[in-house]
Structure 1
Amino acid sequence: MVFNRVVQIGRVVFIASGNDQGKLATVVNVIDGNRVQIDGPSSGVARTVRNLKDLHLTKFVVKIRVGQRSKGVQTAFDAAKVAENFQKTQWAKKIAQRAIRAKLTDFERYKLMKAKQMRNRIVRVELAKLKKAQK
């Protein structure tokens, strides 16, 4: 398996834990093998030093210079339409779906279970009809 996502200046990261969890930011400077300086003026993330264990690398890279100021990072981030493109990815859709599922009430979970049972019953009956017709 080849890793295509490397830690580099301009790499867009998803903050997985800690402050600003769930937001996008851009790597502005690499401090050492474990820490990077990130900035996300478009998403409300202040320029901070974060451990790479708290971040997930995305496939998006913004063209910026080392230590670029927040305004330059914001213009490059917005020009590349990173936030809109990230929302179109399967990753973002899965996160949104997980948030919706977490907010379900007990009754909504029950209705969902019954709907799945009904769908599976219909599929099972149609499959049985096809198998019977094939014989």
Structure 2
Amino acid sequence: MQHISSPDGQQKITIITNDTLRYIIDGYTDVVPKENYIKLDISAVPVEGDEVVGCWATNNYQWYLCYDESKIIEDRLDKTKFKFEAHFPIKDGIPTIKSFFRPDCFTFSFDYGELAMKRGDVIIMD
């Protein structure tokens, strides 16, 4: 389980991984709530490509996340506040995360379900 915060502490995300399921939850929690989460099947995500990218407070969303090759099983997020995409943006036919290398954005990768690396404007709270 990882608890992640924007640099100003205003936005928080909890990530809970259970085998090939990953929950991304709005807010700081230790359990999967009944609302405000997205449940993903990550069985098709390659180990070397297990990466989440996102931005805080962008385009009228509290946060915007992309998780390439994931499959949305259940989306209980408020679509007026949160944006999620199951594929990285495409440029010239190739997936890219270049647009996330700017202020208020971040990337983090996982190694067998555990947070392995982070870049950008994000605070790991645990």
State the TM-score, normalized to the length of structure 1.
0.26
Q: Quick check: which one's strand share is greater?
A: 2
State the TM-score, normalized to the length of structure 2.
0.28
Q: Quick check: which one's helix share is greater?
A: 1
Structure scoring higher RCO (CA < 8 A, sep ≥ 6) equals 2
